[in-house]
Every structure is written in C-alpha cells, then in structure tokens.
Amino acid sequence: MPQILSSTDADFEARFTALLGMKREDSPDVDATVAAIIADVRTRGDAAVIELTATFDKLELTPETLAFTQAEIDAYCAQVTPKDRTALELAADRIRAYHDRQKPDDARWTDDTGAELGWRWSAVSAAGLYVPGGQASYPSSVLMNAIPAKVAGVERLAIACPTPGGAVNPLVILAAKISGVDVIYRIGGAQAIAALAYGTDSIAPVDKITGPGNAYVAAAKRRVFGRVGIDMIAGPSEILVIGDGTCDPDWIALDLLSQAEHDQVAQSILITTSQAEADAVIAAVDAHLQVLERREIAGASWRDYGAVVVVETLAQAAALSNRVAPEHLELCVDDPDALLPALRHAGAIFLGHWTPEAIGDYVGGPNHVLPTARSARFSSGLSVLDFMKRTTLARMTPDALRAIGPAAETLAISESLQAHGLSVRARLNKLND
Amino acid sequence: MPQILSSTDADFEARFTALLGMKREDSPDVDATVAAIIADVRTRGDAAVIELTATFDKLELTPETLAFTQAEIDAYCAQVTPKDRTALELAADRIRAYHDRQKPDDARWTDDTGAELGWRWSAVSAAGLYVPGGQASYPSSVLMNAIPAKVAGVERLAIACPTPGGAVNPLVILAAKISGVDVIYRIGGAQAIAALAYGTDSIAPVDKITGPGNAYVAAAKRRVFGRVGIDMIAGPSEILVIGDGTCDPDWIALDLLSQAEHDQVAQSILITTSQAEADAVIAAVDAHLQVLERREIAGASWRDYGAVVVVETLAQAAALSNRVAPEHLELCVDDPDALLPALRHAGAIFLGHWTPEAIGDYVGGPNHVLPTARSARFSSGLSVLDFMKRTTLARMTPDALRAIGPAAETLAISESLQAHGLSVRARLNKLND
C-alpha cells in the first residue's frame, strides 16, 4: 500500500515533510574505482579502453572496431520494423520542431553613452552522449539527447553505448542515425566517459558529455566535470498527478504506474481534492499490479514510495506540489490552465486529461531529460541551450569611455587593483591630451 | 620573462600545446575536512556555525548576531565616500540595464495536430551569494552576482560574507544594499555553504548558491550540489589580447597586467601579428612591473604563465585563441568587427582599442563572472538564466492524441514499458468507443 495522507489529519504536516525527505537513492561509493579507471584511460588510452571493455562487457575490441562502421550501422537499422521506424521518425520530427524554437537570439545594441553591448551564442564544438546498454538502453533517450545537440549546431556528436557480449539494440542505432550522430562507440562505463573527456588515439575528445548511466558513469561524469561540461546527474524518476475528481481513475492509475514501472525507487504521488478519486485510483492501481509485466518493480515502487494525498482545494494541491518540485507534473483536472499560474517548480507539466506523461517521454516534443529529486527548484530539463554557450560583447568609444571610465577607475582603486585603474586611466589621459 | 613563441618556429605546435596544458591550479585536498564541517552544520545547526566562526574567523556570534541588522547596514553604508558610492551606483545601473535584456521569453503555441506546446520560465525562490572576506572581498562581485538574481525575480537573496576578527568592508555592504540583497550573514567557509544549503534555526535554506571562494568553499559547493544548484567553480583569471600593431603597446601592457595582478597563477597572453608590438609590450610590462603596487603577484604571474605569441595573420591568431578559449578576450586591432566571426570560444570579448578589460570588471554592463580554464568551450558567464529555470508544457487534445498517441504506444512497447503504452492506449480506446 502507498502512503495515504489527508490534509485534515493532525499529523499531516509532519507526514508530508517526511515524504519530501524520503531518501530513495543510495549510491554505492565507487569513486576510488572510477578514479583508477580514468587515470588508466588517460595514461594508456585505447589499450586501457579495450582491456576494460573486455573485462566488464566481455567484448574483445581493437582500435579499428571501437566504433561501428557505416555498413554495420546500416545493417542494424535494416533490422528495425517499419512500424518502429515510423514511430521513431515521428518522434524525432516532433522533438526537432520543439527544440528548434529554443534556439536563442544574439543581441547587440548601442547605449546612451555610445557603448556597443551585446552577446553572441555559439555551439559547443563536440559533444558525447552516453547511452546505457542492456535493459535501460532507450532509443527515445538517444533522440532526446542527440537532437538538441544537433539543433544547437554541435559539429561532432559521438555516442558511447556499451554492447555487453556484443548485444546491440538496433533501435538505438537507428535513433542515432536519425538524429544525425556522427560516430557510435561500443564502449561504456567510466572508461567511456574518460575516453570522451580526455580522448585516446582512436577517440577524439569532446567538450560536453550528457546522458544517463549507472553509478560508475555518474561518478565518472562528476570527476571529469571541469575538463568537459556535463548535464545533470539524474536520479530515479517521479510523477505527481493533481486530480479534482474529473478524470477517469484508471487513466490516473496507469500514469502513476508508468513512472513506477521504471524503477523500484521511482516515486508516484497523487494529490486530489476528491476522496472518491483517491479510493478509485488506489483500487485501479492494485488491479493493474496483478497483471502488469513489470509488476514487481512497479509494485515495490508504489508500496515503498507511492503516496495519495487528499486535500480540500486545488490551491492546497498546488502549494504541496511546489514543495515536491516534481520531475513530471500532470494536471488531470477540468481546467488545467486555471491551475497553471499557481505551479512554480516542476520539470514538465502535462495539462488535462488527454495528456498522459508517456506522451512526453516519446512524441510530445519537449525533452524527457528532466530534473529529479526536487532539483526543479533550481534547474531545467535538457535543451538546446545545454549545447551552446554565450559570449558577452562590449565595445567602448572615446565618448563612452569618457562617460563611464572614471567610475571604473574609482572602483578599481577601491579594490586595490591598480593596474585595472591604470588601464582605464591611460586611455582617458590620451583623450585629455 | 614570459614565454615567447613564434608561429614560424619549428617547435611552435609543441610549445603552444604545452602552453594550453599548463596546470595553474593545485587545489589542496580539503574534502574530508569539508565533509565533516557540513555534517556538523546539518546536525547542530546554529551552534556549529557559531563555533566554527569563532574558530576560523576569531569572531564570537550568537544566533541574533549572525545577520547584520538594518541599523548596522545603514551605518556601514554611511562610511562610504560619495565618490565611491556614485561609482558603485553607476556600475549597478549599467549591470542592471544589461541583465534586464537577458530575461527569457515564455512560449506557447499550437501545432498542426492541435497539441498545445510551450515552456515557461520562473525564478529560483531563494539564492545565496558567497562573498569572500579579506583581500578578495570585492564589492563589484556582489553587484555581478546579486543583480542578475534580482533581475531574475529571486525573492529571497542572502549573502554570506565572513568578517574575520569583525573586519567589515563597507563597500561590500553598500553593494549588497544597492543590489537589493535581503539579508547578510557574517559567516564564511564551508560552514556558510552548509548553512545556506541545509538551513539552520536562524538561516533559511536557499535553492541556489553562487559566488567565488577559497578551496574550502569550492569543495563545499561541490558537495552540496544536487541539494541546491551551484554556479561554476571558478579558476584563476585569464586574458588573451589579440593585436595587429595598431594599439598603444602601453595600453596592452596594462591590460595584460590587470589580469596578472589578480593572482600569481593568473595568465596573460598576447597574440600579435606584429613583432614590433610584441617587443614594445614586453618592454612596457617590464617597466610597469618596476613600480606597480602588486608587482610581486603580477610579476610572478607574467613570469610563470605569461606568453607572447607572434603570428603571421589575424586568422591564425583567431584559431589559436579558439584553442585557448580564454575567459577574457581583447581585440586590440584596427577592425575588431571583421575579426569577430572567426572567434568562437571566449567568455567575454572586448572590441577595439578603447575597451580595456577592466571596463568589463566594473561598469561595462556584462557580467564579470566568466568561465575560466578553457571552459568557455562549453559554458557561459553568469546571467539571469542562472537564477531561473524552465518548465516545459504540453497539452494534448483528443485529435492530437489520435495523431501521435499510437507512435508513443509503439515506442513504449519497443522499450518494454507496458504501463507507458497502456496509459496512452486507455485514452485512445475511449476515443474509439
């Protein structure tokens, strides 16, 4: 059974706070192992990557077979059914169309002193995407990482995807091809992150690494951060559904289960103004848990981390949701637009009965890489901006320097930075000649 | 003497690569100490912060004196000279005007299936700014961190600034007041970062922490990352000047020294197409190093990390600059706009002879918190966006779901995520009733 809370209970605040504080992740401490792997790859390059791949992935590679050839890529793509290919292409088109709108504008203007100011955006030159192997090898995640990079203008986009024992997911290969990925390496783990960050003879280094991975990959990303940029370190998935008794309880139950089935430490929460809806959703979840393919995972998640919260008003529901700052927020209410202004912290919001979260995982258009573990309070989902950077621009004229230079000199002196002041003064003196 | 390179030398590529790889920072390993301090603050709250402040800052505080009172703030502000106050206000006005333009736009549109898509930006609720005490306590950095936060709409903005032995820099207090900071705590070090991240009885927790600090502060920021957002971990400052022989060599020398005087591990590089300019700048730097107040620091930086590179063309200069990806890039050339398109990786670009980098440190308008250590390849200076986050929005209609739902179901099945598929199918079935 999930936790069941009611805002009218005497101990509600204490129980809700405890729900917020629940620790779902217990990362193993793999940092020492990862540090050794990174050092090995930095020292021995290809040889280290190949050895580690033989050890961890039971796969014998050579420098020549680190990357898939174009013929191999084509052959795997040909294995994909037309139905799957069409679905993947529809998803890619929609994701591309959404992310195209995120491209930021440059700016340049002249202010009242005559100074020209502005900024200019440019793409990261090279990026690497990590794609887990095995069960968590999701073609949709390839699209969600690769398409924003290509929309941003990244010139060289590499994927690292382990193929344990040589097992390849053809859909991952096709997703990479559709997204415009330039090279796919069959390597994984901390050794793949190290190779992408530092480069080897056969693997060119990149400037930014994104994508999910296990504890070793996460620890490696933390370690190479600074040398390259990284995206967030994603935690287990979450959904919060706000209901007002107007949605089919079976739909809400399936939406809750679609997060729960990801991971036994995923979290699904329903906050509703309707006690009847709460009861009906709980019953529907239980019914589905009898037959769902991933019922063991989903059942454990629902039992250990699930929660149903009954409140008196939608305003209360919104306030509680803001405290959770969920990764995914569904507004399964009659008038979602009326509720939207009250919702401040969430990775993605799905409005109305006809928008199951799963649409956002695949074909909606927005990114499915989203902030977890309450980090929507301060961070955003993956976007085109993650593969770009901004350079600020400034150009003084003699008049502009005359107008604002003396203040710069004054502040430089107040901070005891004499050369700063002199660099301005030397130019001002020239103007006063 | 700085390193002197010429692009026509046989060993040029090797020497330039070595210059790029120079390690200037050697962070002491303070992680264990910092972990203990954070744990202590989490467990004992105010008591721990007060004890650690007594130990490290030789300052006895109580829960009541952790923050400056309004009367104290006003008294310190009254100590600032009118000249300094006017300069600080001019800087604040210009920084605010520049950052006002960075406020991002929300978007919402309907696509051809009838699906409504979009995103919405919102401010981080509460932010904390770290301001170092002592010599590196720069009022300009208060403006550069606090103003973007307030422009973003951060509601509660706290400063942590240690006051060792009770020493307070009135300009820092005034800069905080001008920027609209809500509370100033007289605490520092890892204990301040821990208090801001986790909160104590007297210090409310924040969602994002920015600002420079020593190795302890940097290690603490890395450790609390995830619990709160953080900005970049800044390294020592850098400048790269591109010259074509048209600028006064004395101006270039002062610009190079204005970075060198920050820190003996700062780095100043001139790349010029003019051998005469190279010689004249080196002579001018030497002359200033005889008399500059901070000549020991600036001299060490110039000797150990400075470089003068003579090239044949400005295109070569731009290509080398892109490899450096400098924090500050000055184009001390006759036609900076012609050179600009070739320059891809830099934190901030200063165009033309009349734009010393020091203008950007104080009054230009753009932010002076910029990516160091080649991280301009993948990251940007501080901006309003660092204090905001984006929530994506999606709303399906029955028609939209009919159009794209089946593809989502197909992909969910291909990823073995049955509940994802069922959450879409349940709705599609209703439409087919």
- Residues A56-98 have pLDDT tens digits of 999 999 999 999 999 999 999 999 999 999 999 999 999 999 9
Contact B354 A424 (CB under 8 A): no
Q: Which of A129-133, A392-396, A409-413 has the lowest mean pLDDT?
A: A129-133
Residue A230's pLDDT is what?
93
Mean pLDDT of A294-304: 97
Contact B359 A396 (CB under 8 A): yes
Touching A: B residues 230-249, CB under 8 Å: 233, 248
Shared-domain flag, residues B269 and B346: yes
Separation CA B182–CA B174 (nearest Å) = 12
Measured between alpha carbons, how far is residue B126 from residues A230, A378, A384, B102, B384 in Å?
A: 24, 9, 26, 19, 14
- pLDDT category of residue B347 using cuts at 50, 70 and 90: very high
Separation CA B368–CA A111 (nearest Å) = 19
Whole domain around residue A293: which residue ranges? 3-25+235-364
Looking at the complex, report in whole angstroms how far the Cα of residue A207 sits from the nearest Cα belonging to chain B: 6
Residue A50's pLDDT is what?
98
Residue B130's pLDDT is what?
96
Residue A135 has pLDDT above 80, yes or no: no
Residue A137's pLDDT is what?
81
Residue B432's pLDDT is what?
85
Indicate the residue of A90, A345, A391 with minimum beta-carbon distance to B404.
A90
Half-sphere exposure of B336 (CA within 13 A, CB side): 22
Classify each residue of B189-211 as buried b or exposed e, where b means 16 or more C-beta atoms within 10 Å of its C-beta: bbbbbbbbbbbbebbeebbbbbb
Separation CA A45–CA A203 (nearest Å) = 9
In three-state secondary structure terms, B116 is strand
> Burial, B249: exposed, middle or buried (Cβ in 10 Å; 0-12, 13-18, 19+)?
buried
Indicate the residue of B138, B298, B418 with minimum beta-carbon distance to A292.
B418
Separation CA B220–CA B213 (nearest Å) = 10
Residue A243: which residues within 8 A CB-CB, separation 6 or more? A252, A270, A271, A272, A273, A274, A277, A281, A332, A333
Shared-domain flag, residues B226 and B243: no
Residue B10's pLDDT is what?
95
Shared-domain flag, residues A196 and A265: no
Shared-domain flag, residues B315 and B420: no
- Residues B11-47 have pLDDT tens digits of 999 999 999 988 877 777 898 999 999 999 999 999 9
CATH number, domain containing residue B173 = 3.40.50.1980
Contacts with A371 from chain B: Cβ below 8 Å: 389
Residue B121's pLDDT is what?
98
Contacts with A226 from chain B: Cβ below 8 Å: 233, 373, 375
Shared-domain flag, residues B179 and B221: yes
**Of B364, B387, B414, the domain-final residue:** B364
Q: Which residue has the higher pLDDT, A40 or B213?
A: A40
Whether chain A has a CB inside 8 Å of the CB on B354: the answer is yes
Q: What percent of chain B has pLDDT over 70?
A: 100
Q: Is residue A385 part of a domain?
A: no
Separation CA A280–CA A310 (nearest Å) = 13
Q: Which helix (H) or strand (E) holds B379?
A: none
Separation CA A22–CA A159 (nearest Å) = 34
Touching B: A residues 44-63, CB under 8 Å: none
Shared-domain flag, residues B49 and B149: yes
Contact A87 B360 (CB under 8 A): no
- CA-wise closest residue to A246 among A346, A310, A331: A331
Looking at the complex, report in whole angstroms how far the Cα of residue A95 sits from the nearest Cα belonging to chain B: 11
Contact A411 B140 (CB under 8 A): yes
Whether chain A has a CB inside 8 Å of the CB on B428: the answer is no
Residue B227's pLDDT is what?
92
Residue B133's pLDDT is what?
86
Q: Is residue B389 part of a domain?
A: no
Residue A1's pLDDT is what?
84
**Of B208, B230, B252, the domain-final residue:** B230
Residue A209's pLDDT is what?
97
Contacts with A414 from chain B: Cβ below 8 Å: 84, 87, 139, 171
Residue B417 has pLDDT above 90, yes or no: yes
Mean pLDDT of A303-322: 97
Residue B364 has pLDDT above 90, yes or no: yes
- pLDDT category of residue B107 using cuts at 50, 70 and 90: very high
Whether chain B has a CB inside 8 Å of the CB on A350: the answer is yes
Q: Which helix (H) or strand (E) holds B157?
A: strand B156-160
Whether chain B has a CB inside 8 Å of the CB on A419: the answer is yes
- pLDDT category of residue A133 using cuts at 50, 70 and 90: confident
- pLDDT category of residue A134 using cuts at 50, 70 and 90: confident
Contact B404 A363 (CB under 8 A): yes
Query: Which residue is closest to A134 within chain B, CA to CA?
Result: B415
Shared-domain flag, residues B274 and B153: no
Shared-domain flag, residues A191 and A263: no
* B328 among known catalytic residues: yes
Q: Is residue A374 part of a domain?
A: no
Residue A315's pLDDT is what?
98
- Residues A215-254 have pLDDT tens digits of 999 999 989 988 999 998 778 999 999 999 999 999 999 9
Residue B331 has pLDDT above 90, yes or no: yes
Q: Which residue has the tokens 């190795």?
A: B215
Q: Which of A274-278, A349-353, B131-135 has the lowest mean pLDDT?
A: B131-135
Q: Is residue B380 part of a domain?
A: no
In three-state secondary structure terms, B208 is strand
Per-residue DSSP letters for A221-260? HHHHBTTBEE-----S-EEEEEE-S-S-HHHHHHHHHHHH
Q: Domain count for chain A, please give it.
A: 3
Whether chain A has a CB inside 8 Å of the CB on B24: the answer is no
Residue B390 has pLDDT above 80, yes or no: yes
Classify each residue of B222-238 as buried b or exposed e, where b means 16 or more C-beta atoms within 10 Å of its C-beta: bbbbbbbbbbbbbbbbb
Q: Tell me whether residue A155 is annotated as binding.
A: no
Mean pLDDT of A96-121: 98
Separation CA A139–CA A351 (nearest Å) = 25
Indicate the residue of B102, B122, B362 with minimum beta-carbon distance to A408.
B362
Contact B418 A354 (CB under 8 A): no
- CA-wise closest residue to B280 among B239, B314, B250, B242: B250
**Of A230, A260, A283, the domain-final residue:** A230
Q: What percent of chain B has pLDDT over 90?
A: 93
Shared-domain flag, residues B210 and B76: yes
Shared-domain flag, residues A158 and A215: yes
Shared-domain flag, residues B208 and B110: yes
Shared-domain flag, residues A103 and A199: yes
Separation CA B265–CA A27 (nearest Å) = 36
Whether chain B has a CB inside 8 Å of the CB on A390: the answer is yes
Please, what's the largest Cα pairwise distance for chain B?
A: 88
Q: Is residue B378 part of a domain?
A: no
Q: Which positions of A are catalytic?
A: 327-328
Mean pLDDT of B223-243: 91
Residue B235's pLDDT is what?
85
Please report the ipTM that was assigned to this predicted complex: 0.96
